[in-house]
Chains A and B, each alone.
Chain A
Amino acid sequence: MTNHSNPRRAAIKALSAAGAMAALGRPLAALAQSKLTVGVIYVGPKDDYGYNQAHAEAAAMLKKMPGVTVVEEEKVPETVDVQNTMLSMIKQDHATLLFPTSFGYFDPHILKVAATNPNVRFAHCGGMWTEGKHPKNVGSFFGYIDECQYLNGVVAGHASKSKKIGFIAAKPIPQVLRNINAFTLGAQSVDPSITTRVIFTGEWSMPVKEAEATNSLLDQGVDVVTCHVDGPKVVVETAEKRGAFTCGYHASQAKLAPKGYLTGAEWNWITPYTNLVTAAQTGKPHINFLRGGLKEGFVKMSAYGPGATPKARAMADDVKGKMVKGEFIIFKGGLKDNKGAVVIPAGKTLTQTDLELEKMNYLVAGVVGSIPG
Chain B
Amino acid sequence: MTDINALKTELTSEIEGAGDLQTLDEVRVAVLGKKGRITALMKTLGSMDPEERKTTGAALNALKDEIADLIKSQERALKKQDMDQRLSTEGEDITLSARQAPHGKIHPISQTMEEMVGIFGSMGFTVAEGPDIEDDFHNFTALNFSPGHPAREMQDTFFLPEDDGEEGEYAKKLLRTHTSSVQIRHMESGEPPYKIVCFGRTYRSDYDMTHTPMFHQMEGLFIDKDVNMGHLKGCLTDFVRAYFKLDDLPVRFRPSFFPFVEPGAEVDIGYTKKPDGGIKLGKAPDGQEQQWMEVLGAGMVHPNVLKNCGVDPDEYQGFAFGMGIERLTMLKYGIPDLRTFFECDTRWLEHYGFDPLDRPNTTTR
Partners in one complex: no
